[in-house]
Amino acid sequence: MTRFIPACFHQSLGSDFFDPVAPADFPQTLLRHRDRRWAERLGLAGLSEADWLRHFGRFEPLPGAQAQPLALRYHGHQFRSYNPDLGDGRGFLFAQCIDPVDGRLLDFGTKGSGKTPWSRGGDGRLTLKGGVREILATEMLEALGVYTSKSFCLVETGEQLWRGDEPSPTRSSVLTRLSHSHIRIGTFQRLAYLEDTANLAKLLDYCIAHYYPGLEGATDKAAAFLEAVVANVARLGAQWTGAGFVHGVLNTDNINITGESFDYGPWRFLPVYDPDFTAAYFDETGLYGFGRQPDTLAWNLTRLAECLVPLSSIAALEPALNSVWPVFRAELPKTILGRLGLEPRDTESDSAFVTTLFGFLAASKAPYEQFFFDWRGGRLSAERAASSPAASFYASEAFRPVADALEGFAPTDTVNLDHAYFARLTPRTMLIDEVEAIWAPIAESDDWSLFHATLAQIAQMREAYGVGVETSAGP
């Protein structure tokens, strides 16, 4: 049996980095979701339902873990405006542990766990709908091959919340997410803003020791660290593009230093390819639209580079920062071909295919996810695609360049077309109307059956694409 391996490393940074806090005392705790796969991996599968509620509803410390939750301090740019009053306003770092499979450090972080010194007048709570939406986002993204946090546990907490963007009062919850780091670009920005070079150096050393140990001994640690973060964040941008995902709020406090997608608010998946598609109703200028996400990630990484100048030099940091576009251009074809189950050929052919494909998707408005589903394995799926609800798009002359290009790619050994998932006519998608349909019976009659059925369908999809708990932990 796997043994839970607690860790208490974040405390070693010292009190300048966090505030000890107490969790909210909720009127009730009802277990609504738990990630049994990751619980098994981390040695927590033996927890009873009562144990889950004690640890992830009341936040009694896990055995050997830190004794008190820590609200982390950070700043950040929000829609390009700097805000020095951020920090964990409705969450905290509850615990850390070591992954017994790969030895990496993992955080248990919360959302909706109560007020902290950084709540800025908020109630510190999370709506139940917000928790359900985050589970759907993380499960779907994982199945699509995106490096994402995991929604480890969702507990309904029995309070009535008032929110302007949904019918109120509404039900409340607390979410525990599992992530490889909650250190954000904004964590570095805060120290740079305070001109606290000593703690900036301490944070850099901590990040290298626990997240990038291969950089120990680097001649210029700051430049090496920046290059590594740039590579992971650029890869994430390519993965979002391949998944047709729009995060919605790409502020610098929502980008962590491991390049792991997390903290889902007004997210959306594309119905059809549209670079201007936005997720947040309040994103009036389309700053964080689908097609602008890679640019936004590059902009955010520039802010990280600025923070590291006191620990390095512009001359050393600039090449590391400028690697963002070469990495993105290399990762995007890998991501697209990976989604299609096709072997890469060469840089020129792979990039040309992506350009041709997106040109077709933009012009035709073919269903985004349907295309990747229909053409899994390339030419092996010609018959499947001809029977697809989207077959008329593929019969058009505009599709001919894509069809010709697909002929040149060999399927991978793991294309898995005999899996039951690929016998469907349509893929499992998570468009906004589907999310609302999943939520409606929960809100109206506390009926969770569609939610559970959806998670089962996503699990089938994840299996079909060969994404298991061993392969979904990121780079």
User: The tokens of 291 are what?
Assistant: 């097609």
Q: What are the CA-CA distances from residue 5 to residues 21, 37, 64, 101, 123 (Å)?
A: 23, 16, 8, 11, 33
253 is catalytic: yes
User: The tokens of 200 are what?
Assistant: 């900036």
The catalytically annotated residue of 35, 88, 107, 253 is 253
User: The tokens of 150 are what?
Assistant: 């995991």
Neighbour tally for 161: CB within 10 Å = 20
Q: What are the CA-CA distances from residue 70 to residues 10, 11, 56 (Å)?
A: 9, 9, 15
The C-alpha angle 228, 229, 231, rounded to 5 degrees, equals 65
Please, which residues have CB within 8 angstroms of residue 215's CB and are 6 or more apart in sequence?
208, 221, 224, 225, 228
Q: How far apart are CA 91 and CA 125, in angstroms?
A: 9
Q: How far apart are CA 33 and CA 154, in angstroms?
A: 5
Assess contact for 86 and 186: CB atoms under 8 A.
Answer: yes
- Bridge-partner residues for 148, per DSSP? 261
User: The tokens of 297 are what?
Assistant: 């990630």
Catalytic positions: 253
